[in-house]
Amino acid sequence: MATPVRALPLAQLRERSSEKWREYPDDVLPLFVAETDFPLAPAVTTALERAVRIGDTGYVASRTPLAEAYAGFAQRRFGWTVDPKRIRSTADVSMGVVEILRRVIQPGESVIVTTPVYPPFFDLVDEAGGAVERVPLLDAGTGWALDLQRIEQSLAAGARAVLLCNPHNPTGSVHSAASLDALARLAEQYGAAVVSDEIHAPLTQPSASFTPFLASGEAAQRVGYAVTSASKAFNLAGLKCALMITAAEETASVLRRLPIEVEWRTGQFGMLAAVAAFSPESDEWLDGLLAALDDNRRLLARLLAEHLPEARYRMPDAGYLAWVDLTDLGWGPNPAKQILRQARVALHFGPAFGAEGAGHVRVNFGTSPEILTEAIERIGRARAAISAAAV
């Protein structure tokens, strides 16, 4: 069993200047945006320190080891064979999604998103010239799944792409191989493309099984595009590097026709850090991160049961984001606002993820047990105070 990676102490985290630590005053515990509180993987630190020392801060090269590094990572972690020649890079997953969507839909055509979902998806579809078609996930009571029947109805009505979140943000669901294959077959039947955001894939717990969309079957290879990055697992969002991946000649030709500027937007530091993150040298660190997140997702369940017994929470199979239903607290459709005011804890607003997010919050548990515990205890104290005042 891997030794859990330890998060940095709060005083050191407050020295950071990123969004998580600058959006709110210092009396607020920030558990909203998807940044983590762990030190960088040692191989990443070494790569970046070397680049600074030798002044390796120029334009990203036309030939880098990035594609080969990712192909090795995908084989080791997912058992997925990726052709490095069918990988191109860009600045981030959002940019990759937009550039692909622009080439697989016509202006005004519908793009399916499976709500509740990562809020920028709505804007990315709009930026690409499409119209958002919302198809909520099915809630079976024990987990979430793609609503293939409603997806087929939308495809039959003219939707020309599916923007998939795999693993899913905010629920942490890992879509089954069978459902992904079924989705691919539907997309092929109706002449649509599937663009799969797989940025949380490296954070799938060992107890679950992640299936890359392009590995789910032959239909997926023909209709699919995957976009991924080391940025979520290794906390590298500010360094700007993502990968766009295909598995068939026709889809690969779409990537080859992208303007060279799309690839040149890749950050030099992002590329160097991603190569280090995807190297075998970082596997032990990633296993330790997964162990720490496993501890925290279980800790969160215990804390909620003790301090917010009205909360409904299912432990995610991937990622460090928890989707928590606080409807029964009676704090309205956007309880994160009251939590920020009363408890000085910043959580992501549930309604931002779609209508299904009413009454929900998204909690980032990629932090220390101490910070997570203090945050939920603060919310529990606020709950008690509000209940007492209502008597």
Where exactly are the structural domains of the chain? 10-39+283-386, 43-279
| Nearest partner of 148 among 160, 131, 162, 165, judged by Cα | 162
**CATH class for the domain made up of 43-279:** alpha beta
Instruction: State whether residue 52 is helix, strand or coil.
Output: helix
What pLDDT does 310 receive?
A: 96
- Residue 356's pLDDT band, with cuts at 50, 70 and 90, is very high
pLDDT single digits (tens) 200-236: 999 999 999 999 999 999 999 999 999 999 999 999 9
Q: What is the pLDDT of residue 386?
A: 87
363 beta partners: 322
Question: How many residues belong to the chain?
Answer: 391
pTM over 0.85: yes
pLDDT digits (tens, 9 = 90+) for 277-331: 999 999 999 999 999 999 999 999 999 999 999 999 999 999 999 999 999 999 9
167 band by pLDDT with thresholds 50, 70 and 90: very high
Whether the per-residue pLDDT at 389 is higher than 90: the answer is no
The answer, yes or no, to whether residue 16 has pLDDT greater than 80, is: yes
- Asked if 171 and 203 touch (Cβ cutoff 8 Å), the reply is no
pLDDT of residue 391: 59
Beta bridge partners of 197: 165, 227
Give the C-alpha distances (Å, rounded to integers) separating 308 from 297, 385, 388: 15, 13, 15
Dihedral pair phi/psi, residue 143, rounded to 5°: 180, 180
CATH of 10-39+283-386, one of 3.40.50.1400, 3.40.1000.10, 3.90.1150.10, 3.30.413.10: 3.90.1150.10
1 pLDDT band, cuts 50/70/90, is confident
In sequence order, which residues have a C-beta less than 8 Å from that of residue 303 and are 6 or more positions away? 372, 373, 376, 377
- How confident is the model at residue 270, as a pLDDT? 98
Determine whether 58 is exposed, middle or buried from the number of CB atoms within 10 Å of its CB (0-12, 13-18, 19+): exposed
Alpha-carbon distance of 32 to 168, in angstroms, equals 17
